[in-house]
Amino acid sequence: MYSSDSDGLAAARVQLVSYSARLLGDGLAVGSAGNMSVRVGDTVAITPSGIPYDGMSPEDVCVVALDGTEHDNRETPSTETPMHLAIYAATSAAAVVHTHSPEVIALSASRDELPAIHYAITGLGGPVRVAPYVRFGSEGLAAAAAGALDGRSAVILRNHGAVTYGRDLAQAYDRALLLEWLARTYRMALSYGEPATLSAAELDEVTAETRRRRYGEPRGGGRTGQHRGGRP
Ligand SMILES: [Zn+2]
């Protein structure tokens, strides 16, 4: 940890190391693949490039400004830093998780979208788009990912992986696990033939009911504009 760190930044370093250690065990990445970041004010704490997760320490976590200016880092920030910054610029994200998880990569090679075969997909904003292939670490990939996130908190990157974001790292990480589970479930459903999917109206109904139960709103109307959650 650095003496110049704010409390928020120091906490973000520790949290990123802790969640990075989970990536491998949860099957969301192998080796040093994948990366994650947390926004703290006008700076972003992001995992370093090329450091194996089991050997990462809080001091290895890098700090960059939202405009891309690097702070005094011991390591090199993730190669996907441009993509993380583009997502902070385009969304309400407070944390971003990028995985190389096998189910979404398999899907990305043959589908343009992860369809809604389970209502839990409302937790990601609806059917998840597959963004076109662009080389890793490029501004083009950053733009493609941010653009495909419109109204969603998850995007699948063709022949590459996936990105989720949330109001904090815990939520962004849970969404990465949910996305991988949904992709696996869809693949299993395909083995029976063409699966039935939920309509936009059915998904809207789920979203409205989830909100009502969370905030105790009266059924069929009542308060509107009370959306305080991180869901887009
Ligand atoms: Zn990647």
Per the listing, tokens 């696990």 go with 177
pLDDT at residue 30, rounded to an integer? 85
Q: Two tokens at 226?
A: 């009370």
**What whole-number distance in Å separates Cα of residue 98 and Cα of residue 154?**
10
pLDDT at residue 229 greater than cutoff 60: no
pLDDT at residue 71 greater than cutoff 80: yes
Pairing of strands 62-65, 161-166: unpaired
pLDDT at residue 116 greater than cutoff 70: yes
pLDDT at residue 223, rounded to an integer? 44
Measured in angstroms, how far is the CA atom of residue 219 from the centroid of ligand 1? 43
pLDDT at residue 13 greater than cutoff 80: yes
Measured in angstroms, how far is the CA atom of residue 78 from the centroid of ligand 1? 9
pLDDT at residue 224, rounded to an integer? 42
pLDDT tens digit string along 15-52? 999 999 999 899 999 877 889 999 999 999 999 998 88
Region 56-60 average pLDDT: 95
Which of 208, 49, 26 is closest to 100 using CA atoms? 26
Residues classed as catalytic: 80
Q: Two tokens at 85?
A: 């910054």
CB 229 within 8 A of CB 207: no
Amino acid occupying residue 3: S
Could you tell me which residue, 106 or 72, shows the higher pLDDT?
Answer: 106
Helix (H) or strand (E) segment spanning residue 106: helix 102-108
CB 75 within 8 A of CB 152: no
Measured in angstroms, how far is the CA atom of residue 222 from the centroid of ligand 1? 43
